[in-house]
A and B are shown apart, each in its own frame.
Chain A
């Protein structure tokens, strides 16, 4: 075999006239190559247990040489039937399920569920509650993007930013734990309010975070943005044009990196987002690099929003966080134990649940991954007829076969990372 000849020649170099080892150029071996070599298509299976698929995603890839001809994703390994389970639960009992869908930003999911149920019931929450929810959403955006940044860096061979981003993420997790008692399964909101107000010391802790977090962002920026390897691996890879991104129903940073200026916070404001001063980064090339730039900038902007929200929170010190409606909000425990009426409300709510009127509501919010939408259909009972999750990472992932077409096998890892999926949400 010709290939083997070259290897042997390389293994035993002779000496040239000057006494230096001769170098045999690759492919210099004599003999004939198989004309058909590499013409056959190869089937490569990645996953479901593979670190680069960010969960239990299985990709079956048809290769021609090293070029991807076709990519067929297989899902469902983490399917938990959340939508079905939701039909058997009261609205407040669904909140723990939302923790487990996009488990990288549980607080934002909790907020979306409360907003959807409140839209269905026509409830307007107090201002302090809205500010707390904005804080929850933006904290979630930062931790979710930090995980994305760290893991994508690892996928492309950069280890250090992973440690930096997880260190920062840990600080938010500590605050999250302080507020909700849980690091992952936060169940922070209730229909008509919040599970709890922020504890003593939380505001100072978050203030300290917003003060020091930009340092890490600057470091990541220094490490990545003008890094030749990072640019080489990401620019021009996995490109989707604005028209394609719209046609594929992409949302969030994926959509904006392709140059479509749509952010639910700006275009369908909820939680008074229109009163916060922040910018929405929009890319222009629709490649992995632009997705990185968009997410990095979003973290800066989230930090800005957090600072503004903390100012408002200080101003709203002592104001209520829940609506004043005993039909949706549990009375204080002390009153439930001492006051007959409060006890009845407590009992009715726990046993029968909160009852929305007949109707349906769709509420979409700007989650870190994209537009998360909860669609409730109610028949007037305490349990929804249908609870539909519009899963941003599922819909964004659907564009993967399109982006991988014609890419190199090694780019598939980068492209898949750039979608920012979380399989708990993809499979639900």
Chain B
């Protein structure tokens, strides 16, 4: 299928030069590969520049290929509601380097839970995210990152161990450290726990 390349690609190259690694067209959608370090700048530019106006963040996700040599990809699906145009921006994260990109939480509040989910499932960090913690798995989940290819379908631990840990986690019986910090009971907490809360530590009470 030979579909048109998005008209945003040329202005992006003019603006960011070498930070735009390459672009591709897949099934009619344009994909722009950007440098990991510059991803936030590119996305902010795409959002705020007249003529681009990608004001809507459709999705944030990540892809890991079956080929272990290939880097992980963080994928931002952008949309311009006034222009009715879409653009897919990708940043490649080499597995030997830090698995981190800058959060776009400051640009789109919709990125809040989406980035938390990518962190939860792939272990990719988003620097600048105000509340980056697991969202679908519980906070003390110890098996790793479920959507990574080195994570077996049935998990790392044995069935018995998984059951034991899941029962021990009992998340609804506990409040997170953050929640306890707002509770009336805060003053009745042991001193060491208050100290941990003051340090901003997270995690469930045992």
* Closest Cβ–Cβ distance, residue A425 to chain B (whole Å): 12
The answer to whether B136 touches A249 (Cβ under 8 A) is no
A373–B67 CA distance with the chains assembled, in angstroms? 25
Is B45 part of the binding interface, using a Cβ–Cβ cutoff of 8 Å? no
Interface string of B171-188 (1 = CB under 8 A from A): 110011011001111000
Interface of A is mostly: mixed
Is B55 part of the binding interface, using a Cβ–Cβ cutoff of 8 Å? yes
Is B108 part of the binding interface, using a Cβ–Cβ cutoff of 8 Å? yes
Which 10 pairs across A and B sit closest by C-beta, in order of nearness? A249-B110, A361-B27, A76-B136, A398-B113, A43-B183, A390-B59, A79-B136, A386-B63, A388-B61, A62-B182
Is B109 part of the binding interface, using a Cβ–Cβ cutoff of 8 Å? yes
Interface string of A244-255 (1 = CB under 8 A from B): 101111100000
8 Å CB contacts to B: which residues of A79-135? 79, 81, 83-85, 88, 119-120, 122
Interface string of B141-184 (1 = CB under 8 A from A): 00000110001010000000000000000011001101100111
Interface size on A, residues (CB 8 A): 57
A41–B110 CA distance with the chains assembled, in angstroms? 28
Is A394 part of the binding interface, using a Cβ–Cβ cutoff of 8 Å? yes
Most A CB contacts (10 A, CB to CB) among B27, B113, B183 go to: B27
A60–B117 CA distance with the chains assembled, in angstroms? 19
The answer to whether A60 touches B175 (Cβ under 8 A) is yes
Interface string of B81-119 (1 = CB under 8 A from A): 100101010000000000000000000111111100100
Interface size on B, residues (CB 8 A): 51
A83–B84 CA distance with the chains assembled, in angstroms? 28
Is B137 part of the binding interface, using a Cβ–Cβ cutoff of 8 Å? yes
Which residues of A come within 8 Å of B, CB atoms?
40-43, 45, 47-48, 58, 60, 62, 69-70, 72, 74-76, 79, 81, 83-85, 88, 119-120, 122, 244, 246-250, 260, 262, 267-268, 359-362, 364, 371, 373, 375, 377, 379, 385-386, 388, 390, 394-395, 397-399, 402, 427-428
Q: A76-B136, A385-B65 are in contact. Are A249 and B179 (CB under 8 A)?
A: no
Is B77 part of the binding interface, using a Cβ–Cβ cutoff of 8 Å? yes
Which residues of B come within 8 Å of A, CB atoms?
1, 26-29, 31, 55-59, 61, 63-67, 75, 77, 81, 84, 86, 88, 108-114, 117, 121, 134-138, 146-147, 151, 153, 171-172, 175-176, 178-179, 182-185
Question: Contact partner of B135 among A75, A267, A362, A377, CB < 8 A?
Answer: A75
A395–B117 CA distance with the chains assembled, in angstroms? 11
- 19 A–B pairs (Cβ distance < 8 Å), ordered by A: A41-B183, A42-B183, A43-B185, A62-B179, A84-B151, A119-B27, A119-B28, A247-B109, A249-B56, A361-B26, A362-B86, A371-B58, A375-B59, A386-B61, A394-B113, A395-B114, A397-B113, A398-B109, A398-B112
